[in-house]
Structures are given as structure tokens and as C-alpha cells.
Structure 1
Amino acid sequence: MRASKLVYSDFRSMCCIGLDFPDGAILRCGFDRRFWSSGAAAAENGIDGWLRYAPLPADLLQGAASTPTAIVVLNSTDSSPISIAAREVQKGLQGIFGKNLDILQPSAARNGSHVVLGTLSAYNTGWGNLNVSNLAPDGYFLSVRRGSVSIVGRNERGVLYGAFAYLSRIAQGNFGDAQFVSNPDAPIRWVNEWDNLDGTIERGYAGPSIFFSEGTVVKNLTRVSQYARLLASLGINGLIPHNVNANPSILSDENIDGLGRIADVMRPYGVQLGISINFASPKSLGGLNTFDPLDPAVIEWWNNRTKALYKRVPDLGGFIVKANSEGQPGPLTYNRTLADGANLFARAVKPYGGIIMFRAFVYDRFADWTVWKADRANAAVDFFKDLDGKFLDNVVVQIKYGPIDFQVREPVSPLFANIPKTAVAMELQVTQEYLGQQSHFVYIPPMWKEILDFDMRVNNKSSTVRDIVGGRVFGQKLGGYAGVVNVGTNTSWLGHHLSMSNLYGYGRLAWNPKQDAQDLLQEWIRLTFGFDKTVLDTITRIGMESWPTYENYTGNLGIQTLTDILYTHYGPNPASQDNNGWGQWTRATTTHIGMDRTVKNGTGNAGQYPPEVATMYENIETTPDNLILWFHHVPYKQRLKSGKTVIQHFYDAHYDGAANTQTFAPAWENLRGKIDQQRFDEVLFRLRYQAGHSIVWRDAICNFYHNLSGIPDEAGRVGKHPYRIEAETFSLKGFTLTGVNPPETASNFTAIWTTPRNGTGEAVTTLDFASGTYNIAIGYFDIIGGRAHYSAYLNAIPLYEWYGDLEDRLGHAFSEKLDGHSATRVTIPGVQVKRGDVLRIVGVANGNETAALDYVAVLPEGIVD
């Protein structure tokens, strides 16, 4: 990684956006040594997540009346979850208290306080008499009394979950006596990893796969074991390692053996392996001339492959199937129903106790956008409602939480209320595909809580989504959760250390969806970063504000995330939503915006909900403002309940969201010395980058709708940047003007880049600002395929230099073009400027990167832009 160099004064007001300042930066004056202090925190890289077992502060240790003297294991083998639980308790107590406890069999136990680990049957046979009739599968009983601890599970997996629960309590300084039973809310608590056999990860933002490389399973599965440990600590009991857009060769003999090795590593942690399968495998892998689910040869082929799988992985959880969606093959190819397809696999795995997770993400990606009543949001109910009752009892329909695709805000999918005879699971996305791809931080559990707590009012009775998913509303034995996670080889697992709060929150909500999102965040903070109150308060504030802030600067009022849906799903491009077959339409015209999903005039989507909910969404007066553009096509000057017009809300929200994002990095900087240096620096870098990219979002969206509607911003902000100097107005040598697509992602719709493409450019301007101290922001484009070099000079004195190397430092899907994905900026703080000073920027192209520049903003203290 190349070092950036700062060569100007005053670090004390530093709020650099888009680039950090590593050790060895060159300074002219005003060097504040405190900036480089490593602080008191020990070095960490994030690999342990929330399982750090860090020593407790002395004041908290005073609350520990007594600690156990030994660990007693009632039933265990060397590789069982109970054996893992014992070693985990041993490790945890060593880390937290500095005390090494022996692991003993019951016959060796002496008088004293013990941590006793065992299943309920083993406990009652060999240790005591415990009556906990309400202990469910995977549930645990935890008793803490004056240092003596009993952790009893209905099964071995439950013992492990109880051990992690105990360690979480004491790692947070909770030494109080306790006695309770904790049961999981639903039996299915899985994670889906979208890893490909070549080691890439679809929608993965933290490096290559920990499971696969070069077409098969990796030899070293150490990271898989570490990941299974993290999952077990949350009560996650299943994992799919392979992309739902499945490669048929996952079922080759070599890969079945590799899957067995993965299962062997995860089994001690109670995590069952499942696999993702390609519907056309009998033809593409097996050499048959068909994959018709009713063809006897196809049925036999699947039965044989399933037998081979279970021979190698006897406890295989089952299959996940993506069929007839986004170009994937499926039963509709042969005019068979989706139930025919699901039941083919259900019959194959039934003798082994397996289940089928059949994704409801089925829709026509070539929909006709000119048809007013066409609506992708209707697809799940249209495809599955009439099949209710036709699925076998080991089929679970896996439903995305909203009707479209993991948007920043959607209503609950109506399918949850439309298939009462079928078991369902909710699919949530931990990986932030549409939510900033872990280059932006968004704490997602508050959004999930809104979905889980939503009352569908089935049969005019209370029927929250969490109770539907948990099987209670319709009396289903199966049900639960599938979280798309996509960890990678980065030691932070998800790329952004703060994004691990989402994995933690997902697991904890899958166990108990009634928990409070802020409480879960604060649990995670204490376990991940310690007990400092400033740390707790700061990260809590950033986390709880992050989702509404991101919604503000991306897409409001239910319009969806206004990203580029035709490319990387990352930066802004509202024009990409419409005029294509993907169905994520906004129906934006020069006068109106929003989908009409009413029964009366529109697509009828509102009518897919139970009557009470349908009535609310059908009427614009009772539709919540935050979903008004989801359900209604309105004029830009439509008044909201707030009194604002739709278009003014867009302007205000985007400016408010971008402004609030600017506060995240300075707040984090106040934690210097309270968090270890590596994690501190890595988070700070991403928060600074997010601050800059949020302004790209703000300007692109506001300019687009301003130009489309012709309605001015009442505050006079949109399209007006009094502190900016457009790059095309500089005196240029070796640079030439270029357009950007979409044009709104460049200030004044124009940028400059070097010519020839591998050349050097020089841009010079005279600063016409009152003398004073300014933050200088430089907008530029960082594309993939090169690492251009930039140098800024003030009056020929070196000011700052950096490289276009974000692809080395961030993990989002990068662009090969000048657009909203590659647009970014750096900010140089505390620069002393005199009127008439000369600013010169030199850009040296590299590879495909043409040293493209957009603007320079000379910002007084406190001014964002």
C-alpha cells in the first residue's frame, strides 16, 4: 500500500475524507505528536470479533464475588460441542480473569465452585436433579450462584450456546446471580454465503472466500473453524457456503469430499452444513438431456447425488434452491410448478432428515416497464400463493424481507401472509449490498426490527412477522431465518469493523427477535471495544443514526435505494431505475414520481396484504410518508404529512443526511487512544471516505430530480457551490475535459482527465478567497485498473499527495468508468490560504486510471460544501 503524504500544517482540526494519513507523513509545521500516538489499547486486527475475552477493568472486577475453580464436563467427546464449550469457557476465564481452570470429569471433581457443562439427561443422571420441562431443542438452562455455574442444554449444541451466553455475561462485567432458560425462537437460524468455487464472492466486500479457491475447497480451513466459532456464539446452527447462483460442479466427487471437510470443521461448533444447488445439474454435470423434475432419470440422478452427499456428510442440513430467477434454471422451463421443483429435492433429502430452503426470489427480469400494472413487487405472491399446501412438509419457502431486493426501505413482503400452509423463513442481508457495501457503515438491525415487529393483521388478529416466521401464527413446525453474510479473508471478516455489529445483531435477533436493536449494539460494543463510556456513547450514536442517515442521502419516502441497478449497486444513478426490465422502477417523469401500487389505479400490490394493512396502503392519507412513493404515484409538489412537498423533502433529506455523515469521523477521532491503533485507523479511514461519498450521493440525486422536475430548492442549495472551483476552469496542461455518466455525478456535469491516457496533467488556479484557514477538498475519480498519482502544491510548496488506490483499501464493487461509484474526494484540513495564492494539482495516470479530477472546494471551518 502506498503511503499518502501530508505536507501542510495543523492536524488538530483534521477531518480528512477519503484518505488517511499513515505514519511517516511529511509535515511542514504544526505537527501534533498526539495524532500518531498508539494509545494504551493493545493491538488487534478484528479476527476475534466479539469473542476477545479481554481483561476486565479493575473497577468491574471488584464486582466479581468469586469465580469457579474448575470446569466439569458431564458428557463429551474430543470433538463434540460440549468439548468445545469446555475449552471455550477455559479460554474465556483465562482471558477475562487471568485464571486457568482445569477441565475435569465428574469423578475427579472436588469440593468448590465449578462450571458444570452437560446435557439435561447427563446432568440428571450423573450430577443432580434438574426439572426444566420447558427446555426446547438447542435451548439451554443457565444458573449462576456465588461462583458456581451450571450450563445445561437440551442437546449438546444447547450446552455450547449456554457456555457462550455465560461468557458474554461476564465479559460485559455482569457477575450477578441468575437462573433462566433460553430457547431459540425458531429452529432454522442459518447463514448463506454467496461464495463461488473460484474464490470470488458475489456481493462480498472483504476479500476472497474462506471456503473455495480454484474450483474446489481450500486446503487450510482454519478460518472456517474461526468463523464457525463466531456463528456458534450467536446460536447460528446452519451454513450454506456456496453461492445461490450455484455452480453445478459443487456436486462433483472431489467437491463433495471438500464439503465433507468443511462439515467436519464446523460440526464441533454445532453448525450444520447445507449446500446450494443448480437446478440444471443433471444436464450440465450429469450428462442427461433434461432436468425436468418429473423425469424418472432426473429423479434418480438427484437421489444418487444426495446419497453420495449424505454418505460424506451424514448431518447435512439440506439444500437451498434458487430456481427460475435472474436467468437461473428451474421447473418452469418444463411447465412444471415451483412446488414440483421443490418437492423433487424434498423427497431426496427426506430419508436423511434434510430440509429444502426454496427461495421465493422469483421474478421476470425482462418485465415491460411501459405496462402500468406490471410490478416486480407482486411476483412472489403471484408465483407462490396458489401453491400453498402443495409443498412437502420439509420445504421452507425463504422470503426476502421486502418485495424487491434488500432496499434501504421496503414494506414487509406480503407473501408472509399468503401461504399459511407452508413453512417460511425470512431472508435478511447482513452484507450491505444496497447499503454501502461496507465502505459506508449502516447498522441494519433497527430496520430488521421494524420488519419483524410489523403486524400483518392476518384475519384481523395480531400476527407480527416474527410470529409468522417463528411458526406460531399458522402452526408451522419449521421456520426461521437465513442471513446473507459473505465473510471474506480480511481479518475484520466483513471489511468494515463496525459492520460486524450487523452479523452480531442478526444472530441475536434470529435467537430472540424481541430484543432491542440499541441494546444489541451496546452489547456488541462492550464485547468488541471495551467499557469506556465515551466509546460506548460514540459508537451507539453513530450506529443508531447510520440507517436513517444513509436513507436520507440515498433514497427517501420508499423510492428505494437510488443506486445503479444495472452495474455495481453501489453509487448513485436514479436514471438506471426506470426504462428497463428489472422492475425496480420509480416511474419518475417531469411531473410525477413513485409507483402506483393501489388496487384502484395501479398494480394491485397493496391488495396483496391482509385487509387492514391493504386499506392503510391503498389510501394515500393513511400510508406512512416513508412509504408514500412505494405505493403512490404523486406530483413532485404533493404535500407530505410534514407539510413539505415530496421534492423539497428529497432536497432537505439528502442535504441533512450528507451533513450528518460528516460528523461520524470527527466523533470517531475523539476515541483515539481508547481503541487499538489498527482498528481505530481502519474505521477512521472508512468513515472519512463515507463522508466524501455521501456528498457525491447528495449532489447526484438532488441534481437529477432538480433537472427532471425543474422545481427549485427552497433553500437555494441544489446546483450551487460557492466554495467550489470546477476543474474545467483551471488552466490546464495535459488535461482535457470529459463527460461523466451519469452526468450528475460530476460537479457541473464535467470532469478533466489526462491525455494521452497514460500521460501527466497539470491544473493551475488562483485562489480568490479571503485570507484565512480553510479545509481544501479535492473531488476526483478512483477507478479500478490503475493507481494514478496526485500531487497538490500551494505556491509551489508541496501540500499533499495521494494515490488512486481505493481498490486496495476498500472492498466495494469498483467501477471501470467515471461515475457515481468511482467519484470520491479527499479533504486537507487546516490550510492557511491568502487571496491570490496559486493552487497547482498534478495528476499522473496509471494503467486504466486517468487521474480524473472534478473540483476543488475551499471550505471555511464548519462548512461542508
Structure 2
Amino acid sequence: MLCTFLLYLLCAIVAAENGSQGWLRYAPVSCEKACQDALPSSVVVLNNNETSPVYVAGQELQRGIQRIFNKTLPVNYGDCAASSIIVGTLGDYNCTHNTPEPDEDGFVLNTTGDTVQLLGQNQRGALYAAFEYLSMLAQGNFSRVAYTSNPHAPIRWVNEWDNMDGSIERGYAGPSIFFANGTVAEDLTRARDYARLLASIRINGIIVNNVNANATLLEARNIDGLRRIADVFRPYGVQIGISLNFASPQDFGGLDTFDSLNPSVVSWWENVTNQIYQRVPDLAGYLVKASSEGQPGPLTYNRTLAEGANVFARALQPHDGILMFRAFVYDNNLNESSWTADRANAAVDYFKPLDGEFEENVIVQIKYGPIDFQVREPASPLFANLNRTNVAIELQVTQEYLGQQCHLVYLPPLWKTVLDFDLQVDGKVSPVRDVIPGKTFNRPLGGWTAVVNVGTNTTWLGSHLAMSNLYAYGRLAWDPIVDSEDILQDWIRLTFGSDQHVLDTITEMSMASWPAYENYTGNLGEQTLTDIIYTHYGPNPASQDNNGWGQWTRADRQGIGMDRTVNNGTGYSGQYPAEVAQLYEDIDTTPDDLLLWFHHVNYTYRLHSGKTVIQHFYDAHYDGAETAHSFVDMWESLRDKIDQERYNDVLARLIYQAGHSIVWRDAITNFYHNLSGIPDEMQRVGHHPWRIEAESMTLSGYEPYAVYPFETASNATAIITSSNSTAGMASTTLSIPSGTYNLAINYYDLHGGESLWTVYRNDDQIGQWTGDTKLGHIPSTYLDGHSATRVTFRDIDLRPGDVLWIVGEPDGTEPAPLDYVALLPGGVVD
């Protein structure tokens, strides 16, 4: 070892950072003199073509070492030299060596001799080796190592749901980096930076446009634009691909049909594909969503999904292109009155009969669970039912149902519940992670894709902490065996430095975040109880049922849960291999965390924990919100250890999350308390001794407002200004013991205005805030669980007889809404 693995930050003032460098910031790391002296004296690059990933690797090495050690190494091309870093392909490495050949995209990293060898099976692999070496150095790891690293699967892609107008569906970090005003953006600087980030985590493909595709992407000017995007990504070893609209031959091409088996349609797609490959000869391929959620597809003409997919696949075959065909096909007009109706059955019902009918360059892209990126789902049984078809797993980095980057949720522990799940195909050990690369069924293709949706925000995802999920996705796609916490800690060291308190604190917060979110949103397998009709963000459990979307809970006054058994329900459990089917068929062997996914039970049914279902709901939601509140104090302990810009940005989000977790907690517990009529044994639900309801205060210019859904307001009521042009005032005389309190005020931040609120104690102003929460979640124009939030003023001295009053000044369509005031002694959450 040149020096110990222990890391020492340089003694310097922490500089402000905006997150734009992500985990590639390469902050200075101190190194003992022996380490400095032992650093290679030059970089040898075995390719001088500036568009080559090997050339880029040399540039990265020079830049990274300069930033980490303040040492500039000269870059030479083509000749091996002593005491150098050699980067290139094994085929171009002519110096004496005895190195085993890695797999495609794999690499060799060897630091044991006088030269550091960074050698790829191909050029892409050489770049990966360079990033691996820089990651070690940036974390202060100067170990002598020699190993070969190979990818888990050939397909390691990301999907971006960017629209031609520059908006991003389910994007929470600003506009598109690829498109604007109906065409490809002129300035692709951010796209180049993104290519660099992706290459550093070994992503080799990107779909640049929304899976709900706009056919105008196929205009000549936009195909030229795709060429420019490809030129930006190519030096980083990332191939681009595009999503296609199935009906393009008719809607865009002028044909009178888009029938998959119509010769004119077949010819049209062949011609379009040839035109694209003339401009982008290394296009990775296509992604198609068809016959789902109202999208056009082969079912329009009574053709099979395989017949639809194969038209694209055959057009791609002369160009070695791949077709990713989404398994997200289901009827969104299901009849809930049918006890056997079940959206979860759709993927297997549609695709299993077609196993073996897809072309060899088709990969069926399967969401990790059978519904839609929920907080917990069982592994999709489709992974066990396609023995003769290539498959890929689809994950979601963008937190569509999981807090939309406004809530800290570290996702790899959730993903691991699926990746590590043993499907027991034919009675043999068959973890999902072995199915997706083709290992289990001996398939030639397969792998990974994730919906990411970066935007122009400097943090890329709208949140500094959310970037851990993108980093971890790349790491898991390369090696799904790696521990989630180990990945996280690498990311923390690269992103925030190596201070042990920083490392321990962010690790503790992140590892607790998914269980906490699951607790205060939806648990026991009952999905995320969000508003599935509107924003997919705040609480609205009633929206799950009484519609055709099929994300049902079947909750009524007696019980809750979907009966998915073969014996008495939808038959979904029978879609798994026999051993797994039996596990879920039997209520006694079904794990508690998926109970309500597979069984409909009374609220008084006792879990393996001994609690009733309803009491578990109450306890879990209170525990989850309490954990979310703890994140604020934990982060504040890092005040002097992280630059102010990132510190303040993360703190604001954690404070918001703490408040919104209370909104979630109260909404869900109140809803099921009202529905079941069963009280909370701890007497918390509906009992809030520290609150003063806004409607019970003395009002002037304010009036009560019945909030819908009722559970998203305390006492189902808020207050709004009587007009949108006149301020309102709400006041109350306090009758509390003298002391120091935290003053928490719940209000609603609506889209369409920036109201101003000012709170006073007697004649003294306590604080002021505006309704302009700068968060990326989908906004709401209503008083509901999406717009509800709170502001807290800490350590306020209050005495009995003090008059507390709040002035709300409306703006635009936002009528300065208020829900309640909570006067909280120290240590009390609510």
C-alpha cells in the first residue's frame, strides 16, 4: 500500500458548489509525500483520435489528477513508458503483458507495477477503467490492486422522458437538455456533461425522448439533430436510441394505416430506419410503448404484440440495432366490480403466450413490479415466464411515485428486494438478477434500463441527495451483488468528501429513507397511497379505487387488500413458479410487507408482528413521519462540514419533507380511521392537543373552506381569503404555559400565485414566508395533499395571554390558505 485507505481532506475553506459535477467533482485529497512521489509521471494514451473513448479517458485522467493532487501529468500518445498511466484497449497494448481477456465492455485495472494499466476489452472498457481508477484516487484509496472487471449484462441503458417542446414527463429538475421548441436544442453542452456522468457509471445506451413519443422526432431536421446528439455521446461510449410512436406511418407518414402486417407500413418503417442510420450509424436502437394507456399499437388491428414488435426489429437487423419493447401493456378501463379483474395479471397474460415469437434482437422491457414503480411490489412474475425471449428490467430513478425528489428516498434497497428475489424456476435457484442478463434461460441479450429524466437544474435531478440513486443504478447494472450501503458510501465520499461524521450521517439518513417513506405513505404491500389520477405526489387513498386504472386497494368499512390468490381471488399468485406461488397463496406464509398485495383481510387481522392491520397502519405512519423529522437535525449537524450552497439546498428540502410527512401521516391515518371506525390504541389519530385550527381563530378577511379530499386538512377545513385582492387576518389569544415553543404552521402552496404570510406575537413579527416553494414536484392548483405543507419557526418564547396573529396576502389564484397552527414544546413533533 502506498498509503493507508484513511482519507484526509485538505485544510481549506469549503468552497460553494452547485452540484453540476455530481460525483465527478474530484475534490482535493491529501496524500503523504510517498504517495505523491509514487504517482505516475505521465499518461500514455493508446489512441489519438479525439472522438475515441480512449482519447477521452486520457483527458479525464489528466484533469482528474490535476484536481485531486494539484499535479499536471503530460499526455503522450502511443508509446509505453515507465512510471506512467497506460490507457487503451488490450488489442492496442503492445508492451509485454500477460492479462486475461475481459468480456465486452470489461477492463483490467492493475496498479501493482511501475505503470498503472487501464486496459479495456474495447475502447469503452478503457474509459471505464480510467473512471474506476480516478474514483479510487478521489476517495483516497491508493491501494495496489490488480483485477479484471466485467459487466453483468450487455444492456445498461437509461430512458429520458423528454418531450419535443422541452418539457419532461415525470421530470422534476427543469426543462430538457435535448429538446426545445419542437426540435433538438442548439446548445448540447449539458448533454455532453451528462454523457460524461453516464460513462463514469458504465451506462452504454440512452433513449433521449419520451416513451410517449411524438412522431415529429422523425422530421428531417430532427434526425439531423439526433446526429448531433450522437456525436456528443459517442466519445463517452454511450450510444443513443429513440422512442417511436406506433402510429407514425399514419399520423406522420401520410399512410391510411399503421397495421404492423401491412406491406406499406413495413416498407415505411424500413425506409425511416435506413434514413436514421445514414445520419447515426451507431444508433443503439428503438424503444416502443404500444397498446397501453390509450397508446396506439398492434392490438388496434388485432395483431399480436410480437407481430408489432417484429416490424421494428426486422428494420433494425441490418444495422445491428436493438428493439426494446415495453411490457407495460394493460387495459386502463377495468371493471372493479369484478372480483377477478386485476391489472397486475396483464403482463403475463399478454406476453407469456408469445414467448419465442419475438425476433432475436427484441428485448422485452419489464418494470420491476407488475403495477407501476410503487414503494413496494413483488417481483414481476413475467421474469419467470419468458424462457425464450430476451428481457431487461426497468427501474425508475426519477421518483414519480416516491416523493418526486422532494423527499429523500434512497432506492437501491427497494430495487434489491426484486433483484435478489428467487423465482425458483423449475425448482432451481433463480434470482431475478440472473434472469435479466440472459443467464437463467441462456439468452443472448438482456440487462437494465432506468427512467432517469435529468433536467437543466444544476443538480441534474433537482436534488443533490437524489443523485445517489443515479450513481447506484449504474453501479448495480454493472454488478448487482454490490451492497447498497457500500455503493452509497462511495457516492458520499465522491460527492461530499471523506469526513467520517458526514459519511456516517448521510449513510444513516439514506438507509432509513425508503423504510420511512414506505411507512408514512403506504405499507403492507398496499402501494403508495398517492393520488393516481392527478399528480402521483401527495396523499389521496380514495383515488386508488372506483376507477378503471386497476391500482385498487378494495378498501371498505370492514377490510382492505387485493385477493390475488388462485383459490378465491384474481389468480395472480399462480403466475409464479410453484414454490413462489404457494408462498403467496397461503396467508400464513405471505410476508407482512406484501400481505395486502395478495390478500383481502379485515382491519383487525393480526400480522406476524402481533399487531392488527389497522394499528400497524397507525403506528407505521407515525414512525415514518418521526424518522423524516430526524433527518433535519442530522443534516444540521453537518453545517460546517459541507459547502453552504449545497448545505442550504438540502436543508430546505429536508425541512419540507418533514412537514409533508405530517401531511401524509395525518391524511392516511384519518382516512382509514374514518373508514374503519377503529380507534388508534395510542390515541394519536384525530387528537392534536398542540394544534389551533385556523377556522377556530378570529377571522377578518378570511373564511372557512372545506378541503377535498377531507383528510388532507386538519379537521377537514382550512381558511382562505375572502377575495383574491384583499388580505386576511387570523388571530387567537394563547392559553398555554409560559415557555419556548416551535411554531409550526400548515398552509397550502398553490400553483398560480405567491401569497405572503406574516406571523406576529402581539406587536412583534415572528416571521414571514411566501408561497413560492421552489421544488420540482408537480404543482397543484387545489387545496389538497399535494399543495399542503408547513413552515416552522423555532424557539419562540410564548406566554398565556399573548395574541398570535397571522396576516395572509393573496396573490394571483392563491388565496393565502391556512390549515392550522401547532405550538410544539421542545422534542414534540406534533
TM-score interval for Structure 1 and Structure 2 normalised by the shorter chain: over 0.9
Q: Is the CA contact (8 Å cut-off) linking 2:343 and 2:551 kept in structure 1? A: yes
Question: Corresponding residue for 2:416?
Answer: 449
Question: Which residue in the other structure is 2:5 paired with?
Answer: none
Q: Which residue of 1 aligns with 2:649?
A: 682
Match of 1:115 among 77, 82, 85: 85
> Hey, what does 2:775 align to over in structure 1?
810
Cα distance in 2 between the residues matched to 1:645 and 1:845: 45
Contact persistence 2:47–2:78 (CA under 8 A) = no
Match for residue 390 of structure 1 among 344, 357, 360: 357
Whether 1:553 and 2:553 are equivalent positions in the alignment is no
3-state SS of 1:497 partner: coil
Match of 1:440 among 407, 422, 433: 407
- The TM-score, its normalising length taken from structure 1, stands at 0.94
1:749-799 Cα distance to aligned partner (Å, 9 max, x none): 000000113321010101111000000000100010100010001002111
Bigger RCO of structures 1 and 2 (CA < 8 A, at least 6 apart): 1
Does residue 1:69 correspond to 2:69, yes or no? no
Q: Distance in 1 between matches of 2:282 and 2:319?
A: 8
Correspondences of 1:326-405 after superposition (within 5 Å)? 326-405=293-372
| Secondary structure at 2:581 match in 1 | helix
Task: Tell me the SS of whatever aligns to 2:24.
Answer: coil
Alignment of 1:97-496 (within 5 A): 97-107=69-79, 110=81, 112-123=82-93, 126-133=94-101, 135-145=102-112, 148-496=115-463
* CA distance, structure 2, for counterparts of residue 695 and residue 131 of structure 1: 57
2:599 aligned to which of 611, 632, 635: 632
After superposition, the C-alpha distances for 1:205-235 in whole angstroms (9 at most, x for unaligned) are 0000000000011100000000000000000
Residue 660 in 1 paired to residue 627 in 2?
yes
In structure 2, what residue type is equivalent to 1:506? Answer: Y
1:42 partner amino acid: A
Structure 1: runs of 5 or more not aligned: 1-38
Give the 3-state SS of the residue equivalent to 1:194 in structure 2: coil
Instruction: Count how many residue pairs are aligned between Structure 1 and Structure 2.
Output: 820
What is the correspondence of 1:693-732 to structure 2 with a 5 Å cutoff? 693-732=660-699
2:566 counterpart letter in structure 1? V
Asked if 1 retains the 8 angstrom alpha-carbon contact of 2:162 and 2:179, the reply is yes
How many Å separate the matches in 2 of 1:741 and 1:828? 27
Q: Which whole-Å deviations, capped at 9, do the CAs of 1:307-353 have from their partners, x for residues lacking one?
A: 01000000000000000111110000000000001000000000000
The normalised TM-score by structure 2 is: 0.98
> For residue 88 of structure 2, what is the amino acid of its counterpart?
G
Does the aligned pair in 1 maintain the 2:721–2:808 contact within 8 Å? yes
Letter in 1 for 2:15: A
- Output the amino acid matched with 1:840: W
**Structure 2: which amino acid aligns with 1:56?**
V
Q: CA deviation at 1:62?
A: 6.2
Instruction: Give distance in 1, aligned partners of 2:482 and 2:663.
Output: 35
Whole-Å separation in 2 of the counterparts to 1:436 and 1:789: 26
Secondary structure of the residue that 2:295 maps to in structure 1?
Answer: coil
| CA deviation vs aligned residue, 1:47-91 (integer Å, no higher than 9, x gap) | 0000011110356x7656610100111234111100000000001
| Rounded Cα–Cα distance in structure 1 between residues aligned with 2:670 and 2:45 | 65
Residues 1:41 and 2:9 are matched in the alignment: no
Aligned to 2:539: 572
Deviation sequence 1:186-207 (CA, Å, 0-9, x none) = 0000000000000100000000
1:820 aligns with 2:788: no
Counterpart of 1:529 in structure 2 is: 496
CA contact (8 A) 2:30 2:69 kept: no
- Distance in 2 (CA, whole Å) between partners of 1:128 and 1:484 is 44
Contact 1:402/1:411 (CA < 8 Å) preserved in 2? yes
Say whether residues 1:54 and 2:27 are aligned partners.
yes
Identity in percent = 63
How far 1:728 sits from its partner (Å)? 0.3
Contact residue 118 and residue 156 of structure 1 kept, 8 A: yes
- Which residue pairs with 2:827 in the alignment? 862
Deviations along 1:95-154, one digit per CA (max 9) or x if unpaired, are 1111101110234x65x310001111111xx32233313x11100011002552001111
Match of 1:36 in 2: none
* Mapped contact 1:67–1:147 kept (Cα < 8 A): no
Q: What amino acid is aligned across from residue 822 of structure 1 in structure 2?
A: S
Distance in 2, matches of 1:85 and 1:578, equals: 53
Structure 2 SS opposite 1:663: helix
Q: Deviations over 1:806-863 (max 9, x none)?
A: 1xx1000010100000000001000000111001100011001110000000000000
| Amino acid corresponding to residue 569 of structure 1 in structure 2 | H
| Residue of structure 1 equivalent to 2:3 | none
> Counterparts in 2 of 1:477-626, with a 5 A limit?
477-626=444-593
Tell me which of 48, 53, 56 is aligned to 1:84. 56
Q: 1:752 aligns with which of 707, 716, 719?
A: 719
Structure 1 ranges of 4+ moved more than 3 A: 61-65
Task: Confirm or deny: 8 A CA contact 1:753 1:852 kept in the other structure.
Answer: yes
What is the RMSD of the two structures over their aligned residues, measured on CA atoms? Answer: 1.1
Q: 1:767 to 1:146 in 2, by over 3 A?
A: farther
Q: What amino acid is aligned across from residue 320 of structure 2 in structure 1?
A: G
Opposite residue 21 of structure 2, the aligned amino acid is: D
Question: Which runs of 5 or more structure 2 residues have no equivalent in the other structure?
Answer: 1-11
- Measured in 1, the distance between the counterparts of 2:124 and 2:114 equals 23
Indicate if the aligned counterparts of 1:66 and 1:146 stay in contact, CA closer than 8 A.
Answer: no
- The answer to whether the 8 A contact 2:524-2:597 is kept is yes
| Contact 1:65 1:146 (8 Å CA) reproduced | no
Q: What is the SS of the residue equivalent to 1:790?
A: strand
Give me the whole-angstrom Cα distance separating, in 2, the residues matched to 1:287 and 1:545.
54
Deviations 1:541-599 (A, max 9, x none): 00000000000000010000000000000000000000000000000010010000000
Q: Secondary structure of the equivalent of 2:160?
A: strand
Aligned to 1:96: 68
| Match status 1:837 vs 2:802 | yes
SS at match of 1:762: strand
CA distance in 1, matches of 2:202, 2:646: 26
Is the contact between residue 65 and residue 147 of structure 1 (CA under 8 Å) also seen in structure 2?
no
Task: State the one-letter code of the partner of 1:783.
Answer: L
SS in 1 for 2:466: helix
CA–CA distance in structure 2, aligned partners of residues 271 and 535 of structure 1 = 33
The Cα of 1:40 is off from its aligned counterpart by: 2.8
CA contact (8 A) 1:740 1:750 kept: yes
